[in-house]
Amino acid sequence: MALTDIFIRTVKPTGKPSGDKYADGEGMYLLVKVPGKYWRFDYRFGGKRKTLALGVYPDVSLADARTKREAARKSLAVDEKDPGQVKIDNRQAKAVTAANTFEVVAGIWLEKTAASRATSTQEKITNWMKKDVFPFIGKKPVSDIKSIDVLETVRKMETRGVLDSAHRVKQLCGQVLRYCVATGLIERDVTADLKGALSVASKKNYAAITEPRQVGVLMRAIFSYSGYPYAVAALKLAPLVFVRPGELRSAEWVEIDLGTAEWRIPGEKMKMRNDHLVPLSTQAVEILRNLQAITGHGKYVFPSIRDEKRCMSENTITGALRGMGFSKQVMTGHGFRAMARTIMDEVLNERVDLIEHQLAHAVKDPNGRAYNRTAHLPARREMMQRWSDYLDKLRIGADAIQLREVGA
């Protein structure tokens, strides 16, 4: 006879150690013991008698237990699967799903791919994840993430006006999800559905001062700037070496040989992934020698003010320029590269291939091969010294040679 809700609610244990069983039919019964009331389903699979736990009353009602019984019977009759094993598999799948949240998997991906990017880039994308992604989808299992989840996350960045960063973060989320596809956690990368969903930022060049007399004003402001010694030294060195801001702030003492006046930047820190050699002028060597007495005991030439185990913040030089009165429309940390490129070509008449090589742009030899880092080193060393000397002349007020007019 089938069980009733009233009976189940009122029945009491008799005290038997094994408990009392009350059948509901088709293999399901209520097991009543001193601790509580338990739903069970007896069945045979592979010639063996087995029992499946269906839950505890009252959390699982009579109707709920019967639904679970029918699902188990279907698994046996239609799917020819052991419902007990199905339950174990489902439990394990849920555990895997719960463990593989976006934050967990993204952390694994960041660690596995760290060697392929510069330290400064690794820090930047890690900070993007921690600040702009994890608070919104970090706790979601990757299998539950939909395209709208990623879109709503990056649109928060779009609303703040950081369009380039929003697009970059969308790409990063896609890279993480493609890693999930490769490792069997999900079937597809849902960010593929977001093409055209974000606004497109207009392409802008980095602001830079390229007029010699104004460069003199900039250099005098730099040498008058007072602040942390790390920031002052970085600011003075930036125009002399004109490397990318991330390459400058992540410079390590092990890369610099003051004896030979060379800075050898490993390829993993470079945008083009090739090793790069920067000949150091006497002015650059002097700046670094003075700084070595302060930071030479650590890893980074320009350590973070808050944590010497990390390199200087990407906002340090930008903040210093703003503090000196140079707005982002006038000069940026990246602008030292355009400043050098323009004046060295149009004023100092330096060889364009040497300038491009020193900028770590892709330069090919006559046979179409990329030059190695030591190519034309003597000529580049002389060029870098002439550039530093020229900046000194502008700073102390010597006559500046004007840019050539187009067509002159």
The tokens for 110 are 């960041």
Catalytic choice (33, 271, 299, 381): 271
Angle of helix 229-241 relative to helix 212-224, nearest 10 degrees, comes to 160
Task: Give me the long-range contacts of 370-375 (CB less than 8 A, separation at least 24).
Answer: 370/274, 372/275, 373/264, 373/274, 373/275, 373/276, 373/277, 374/277
**Catalytic choice (37, 170, 236, 244):** 244
Type and span of the H or E element at 371: none
Residue 371 annotated among the catalytic residues of the structure: yes
- 22 in helix, strand or coil? strand
What is the CA 102 to chain-centroid distance, rounded? 13
How far is the C-alpha of 13 from the C-alpha of 19, rounded, in Å? 7
Handedness of CA 96, 102, 108, 112 (dihedral sign): positive
- Name the catalytic one among 156, 264, 371, 381: 371
Tell me if residue 271 is catalytic.
yes
Cα separation of 118 and 109, whole Å?
Answer: 15
337 tagged catalytic: yes
SS3 276: strand
User: What's phi and psi for 240, nearest 5 deg?
Assistant: -75, -35
Catalytic, out of 68, 170, 276, 337: 337
Query: Is 341 strand, coil or helix?
Result: helix
Other Cβ atoms less than 10 A from the Cβ of 136: the count is 15
CB 291 within 8 A of CB 229: yes
Cα gap 331→222, rounded to integer Å: 12
- Residue 188 annotated in active site: no
Segment holding 64, helix H or strand E: helix 62-77
| CA 42 to chain CA centroid, nearest Å | 52
Q: Is 206 a catalytic residue?
A: no
CA 77 to chain centre: 50
Give the residue from 343, 262, 249 showing the smallest Cα distance to 299.
249
Catalytic residue among 66, 334, 357, 395: 334
Which residue of the set 188, 289, 361, 404 is catalytic?
Answer: 361
Supply the residues annotated as catalytic: 244, 271, 334, 337, 361, 371
